[in-house]
Amino acid sequence: MNKKVIVTGGAGFIGSHVVDLLVKERYSVSVFDNLSTGKKEYVNKKSNFVNIDITDSKKVFDVVSQIKPDCILHLAAWARLKRSIDDPIGTNKVNVNGTLTMLEAARRFNVSRFVYSSSSSIYGGQKNHKMKENFTPHPISHYALQKLIGEQYCTLYAENFGTKVVSFRYFNVYGDRQPDQGEYSLVIGKFLRQVKEGKKLTVFGDGRQTRDFTHVSDVARANLIALSANLPRRKNTIVNIGSSQETSVNQIVKLLGGIPDYIIPNPRGIYEEKRKVANVSLAKKVFGWEPKVMFKEGLKKLQVKMVYI
């Protein structure tokens, strides 16, 4: 019998790619999503779709008790820094209370493994921009703090109840299905849309800020590996998932052949992290995971698909 897996946020950008890979690998997948940010057309037709709000604990407990999953992959969240600042109470309800609801469901119904999608944003400002898991977190936004609280809840549930828990700290995920519209769109999606429309590329600040852009297929593969990895009990295994390539916003503009439109001063102000890149040596050691898609390659393929087709 195939393992049963619940993927929260499985209609979203990252979650839908995770679901596609699990279905391909013959897992029995149930998607939990209320379509507040996800799209029904992203849901794999071979999965079981459940329209559900993860903050509705009564309904969540009822459905989880019926499915009896072997693992929960928790990707559902209200992401983006600006959204968390605009609506700290609403995003806290989803990102913190929703995570707690899913952890409690795992405990109540003996789900042996819980994989939590965290964020590199929890590092915040660091003296060393090459982020390692043993750095003391310094969140500088509501979203980052909410993700850190989720990690801490994961640690408590691992230590107190023996659930095998993994927390993945993603670094700036990009790829097909990424948001490219509205004020919460992702930078690469926004740039590709502007290129397609023949517009200048909107750059906040001077464009020298750097990030570690990680292809969504590498993130999906990490989630797949976590389902069968040998994990310790009573420990939250926290690892970075990134490309280990540091890329500036100006470099992206150049790669896309666009013309920058600098917005100065930077509207993000104190919330803008200057430099960030992942050290992924622990992911390799613990899971045998390494990034496969290098940024230039991933961006080129995405540009062809989104702009010229």
**pLDDT score, position 106:** 98
Identify whether 285 is part of a domain. Answer: no
**pLDDT score, position 271:** 84
- 38 shares its domain with 151: yes
Provide the CA 20 distance to its chain's centre, in angstroms.
Answer: 16
- 194 shares its domain with 228: no
Identify whether 144 is part of a domain. Answer: yes
CB 171 within 8 A of CB 238: no
- 163 shares its domain with 206: no
Identify whether 120 is part of a domain. Answer: yes
- 163 shares its domain with 150: yes
How many other CB atoms are there within 10 angstroms of residue 18's CB atom? 28
Tally of domains in the chain: 2
Identify whether 118 is part of a domain. Answer: yes
**pLDDT score, position 153:** 98
Q: What is the pLDDT along the chain (309 residues), one digit of tens a residue?
A: 589 999 999 999 999 999 999 999 999 999 999 999 999 999 999 999 999 999 999 999 999 999 999 999 999 999 877 888 889 999 999 999 999 999 999 999 999 999 999 999 999 989 999 999 999 999 999 999 999 999 999 999 999 999 999 999 999 999 999 987 765 568 899 999 999 999 999 999 999 999 999 999 999 999 999 999 999 989 999 999 999 999 999 999 999 999 999 999 998 888 888 999 999 999 999 999 999 999 999 999 898 876 554
Identify whether 20 is part of a domain. Answer: yes
Q: Which of 247, 173, 249, 242 is nearest to 205 (CA)?
A: 249
- 57 shares its domain with 24: yes
Identify whether 77 is part of a domain. Answer: yes
**pLDDT score, position 233:** 87
**pLDDT score, position 303:** 85
- 122 shares its domain with 236: yes
- 141 shares its domain with 205: no
**pLDDT score, position 306:** 64
Separation in Å, CA 242 to CA 97, 171, 294: 27, 5, 10
- 73 shares its domain with 127: yes
Q: 265 preceded by cis ω (within 30°)?
A: yes
What single-letter amino acid sits at 151? Answer: E
- 68 shares its domain with 192: no
Q: Which two tokens stand for residue 169?
A: 């700290």
Identify whether 283 is part of a domain. Answer: no
The CATH number covering residue 137 comes to 3.40.50.720
- 128 shares its domain with 200: no
Q: Which of 131, 113, 111, 112 is nearest to 121 (CA)?
A: 131
Catalytic residues: 143
Domain that holds residue 261: 175-212+244-278+292-307
- 35 shares its domain with 111: yes
Separation in Å, CA 8 to CA 12, 51, 189, 299: 9, 10, 23, 27
- Name the pTM for this structure: 0.95
Identify whether 286 is part of a domain. Answer: no
**pLDDT score, position 273:** 87
**208: Cβ–Cβ under 8 A, 6 or more apart, which residues?**
248, 249, 250, 274
- 37 shares its domain with 163: yes
**pLDDT score, position 21:** 98
The CATH number covering residue 261 comes to 3.90.25.10
